[in-house]
Amino acid sequence: MSINDEDRAARKVAHEIGCDLSLLSVDELALRVELLKAEIARLEEEKARKGASRSAAEKLFR
């Protein structure tokens, strides 16, 4: 196995915003949709967590 093969095997499926979608299969598009949904959920959870921390800090300093 060459170094390039190892690099390819280690790469995760990713999506670049605005990339050309025309060469992707329906299955690849579905995978990307699920990937983005999971990322949105992760972002929403972090936003909620930070919002709760901010709210607690504001109450403390009032």
pLDDT per residue over 31-52, tens digit each?
Answer: 999 999 999 999 999 999 999 8
User: What is the 8-class DSSP label of residue 10?
Assistant: H
What does the CA dihedral 51, 59, 57, 44 come to, rounded to 10 degrees? -10
pTM above 0.85, yes or no: no
Q: What are phi and psi of 15, to 5 degrees?
A: -130, 130
Query: For the chain, how far is it from start to end, CA to CA, in angstroms?
Result: 62
Instruction: Find all residues with CB under 8 Å of 35, minimum gap 6, and list them.
Output: 13, 14, 15
**pLDDT mean over 18-24:** 94
Q: What is the pLDDT of residue 58?
A: 77
Structure tokens at 61: 């300093």
Q: How confident is the model at residue 61 (pLDDT cuts 50, 70, 90)?
A: confident
What is the identity of the amino acid at 52? Answer: A
Q: What is the pLDDT of residue 6?
A: 62
Number of structural domains (the chain) is 1
Domain range for 25: 3-60
